[in-house]
Structure 1
Amino acid sequence: LAGVPGDGGVTTPVRARACLLRAQIAAADGESQEAHRHLGEALALARPEELRRMFAESGPWVHRTLGQDPRWARSHGWLIPRTPARTARTARAPQADGQPAVVEPLSARETEVLRKAADLLSTEEIAAELYVSANTVKTHLKSIYRKLCVTRRSEAVHRAQDLGML
């Protein structure tokens, strides 16, 4: 990781990921000052392009580290995706386009899969966390799409947020 060049030849996401990994290693070794320094570098590199995913995928240590100092949380609010304000509506309320919000209610397992999808987990990661096959997760996702009248994961998450389901 130390060999990743500081500027030319390597893309910003790769450089930011390298800094984030160095921060995680330092945190695991108990070197909090070094971890904060590398995390700060990663955040500085990621901020212009708002590269959020790598931080979400790095696990809870990033949130704990940012939460240790309120100034960090305030100065890095860009990590939270900007979405329009969501309002809870009843599942039977028609949408602006006249379609029902939900064709039928989601099962408990479908809701679980949808929550994992909202956390930006891949199909394989969801399968591993729920102890099912990737094909089972895909089947649940197709059912979720049908019930929420959407065609993509992001649409399903946004629709579920609009409906107050997440």
Structure 2
Amino acid sequence: MSRHPNLAALEALLAQVRHTDVATFLRHMMAIHPPGRLPARTAFDPLAVPALLPGLVLVHVEYRPDGAPRLFIKVAGERIRDAAPMAVMNRYVDELLLGGERRVIADTRQTVIDTGTAYYWYGAPRMKFKLDFANLEYVHCPLAEDGETIDHILSFFHYEGTA
């Protein structure tokens, strides 16, 4: 069985990350990743990484009849809910009234869908938050029940300068 490209992407990202919690998240995602396919949502047990729960976001990817994805934020950890400028949990991204900021949320995850590999960001925030912090570090990871069609994206966020 061939090695899935997302495993190589996760390994490369592990060499770049700055915060230990982001590295812990990546190591866990690598540990649950089967060699030749994407991990299923059911492979991720949040209780295996309890210290990371406040920074996790789980997005369900729903596909419209035309094949276009629609993103539904199923779970947002406490740190995310505290930082977000509005309620995000149990909402579709396209219903969030954020204008260009909505594009940041959608476009980064669209990149995951398009490439089938994890997406990483470190730098100044590209949208407004309620919290004051220096930089943002996050990673979006694809999940697929059938090992191929991305049906969830699991993310971990670290706000630099916060607990």
TM-score range normalised by the length of the shorter chain: under 0.3
Which structure has the greater CA radius of gyration?
A: 1
TM-score by length of 1: 0.27
Instruction: Flag the structure with higher strand content.
Output: 2
TM-score by length of 2: 0.27
